[in-house]
Amino acid sequence: MMRSIMVNGAEIAERAIAAELQFHPAENVEAAWQEAATALVVRALLLDRAAQLGIDEADEESTISALLAREVVTPEADEETCRRWFTANRRRFRSPDVYEAAHILFPAAAEDEAARATAKQAAEQTLALLRDAPQRFAELARERSACPSKANGGLLGQQSRGDLVPEIETFIMSLDEGQICPVAIASRYGFHVLRLDRRAAGIDLPYEAVAEDVARHLRTQSWQRAVSQYLRLLAGRADIEGFELDAAATPLVQ
């Protein structure tokens, strides 16, 4: 796998690629090598072009930035284009779903079977009490929960999707407001008795609220396409041995 590469007569040695590997975690060594080699080939192409144009900044990164600022020019999307893209991607622009819930935690490590059995039993006993007296939730949370939220009667505050562990969120999304989950919920932390207090669905945001985000997204897309095309142009003019560059997969256009 390891081999040297030549770019316009200059060698990128095996040891340089090996040193670069640490910055490119991947599923396997082959993929990491490909990413590391791509990064070094791209850098060599850009620095060669900068030298041709007499661009020489304080360091390589500044030199590459100055080169791209000079040679890669992208048009700014007008409002009509921005609005058209916004309309076609409407689902991306919603406020998050939010909910308020409360829980009672009975802790147990995931690998401790005995502790988990005890925690599950305690959670189920608490659920049995709450079936007859749901108004006791805050009282039982203060008495039994191992979570700091016990001080507030188990209240978790306002949360949005992704804030809590997936095991709990799965149940939250299926409960009605005010409902206590009828089963003890297992998570990596132990077992939970859960109550959903309020849920509010996100709303579609108007274009005016996200106009800057849309323009920024289109600007980034345009720049990435332009850089990819620019690198293809440089690669087409260059003499590269021992490597085939995929300009669309370079670190600059991720």
pLDDT tens digits for range 62-94: 999 999 999 998 988 999 999 999 999 988 898
Structure tokens at 225: 């396409």
What digits encode the pLDDT tens for the residues 14-67?
Answer: 899 889 988 988 888 888 988 999 999 999 999 999 999 999 998 999 999 999
Gap between the Cα atoms of 119 and 147, Å rounded:
13
Tokens in use for 30? Answer: 């082959």
Neighbour tally for 186: CB within 10 Å: 17
Fold of 98-200: Chitinase A; domain 3 (3.10.50)
185, HSE (Cβ side, Cα atoms, 13 Å): 24
pLDDT above 80: residue 251? no
**H or E element: which one contains 114?**
helix 113-132
> What are the boundaries of each domain within the chain?
5-87+208-253, 98-200
User: CA of 87: how far to CAs of 95, 205, 230, in Å?
Assistant: 16, 11, 30
The kind and range of the H/E element at 7 are strand 5-7
Q: Which residue has the tokens 């030199």?
A: 63
Structure tokens at 56: 């020489």
Residue-level pLDDT at 112 = 94
Residue 10's SS3 state is strand
Which pLDDT score is estimated for 242?
A: 87
Of 88, 98, 123, the C-alpha closest to 108 is 123
Task: Quote the CA–CA distance of 45 and 233 in Å, as a whole number.
Answer: 10
Residue 167: pLDDT band (50, 70, 90) is confident
Give the percent of the chain with pLDDT over 90: 65
Give CA–CA dist 233/224, Å, rounded: 14
Predicted model pTM: 0.58
Task: Show the tokens assigned to 66.
Answer: 């100055």
Q: How confident is the model at residue 160 (pLDDT cuts 50, 70, 90)?
A: confident
Higher pLDDT, 169 or 191: 191
Query: Which tens digit of pLDDT belongs to each residue from 175-217?
Result: 999 999 999 999 999 999 999 999 888 888 999 999 999 999 9
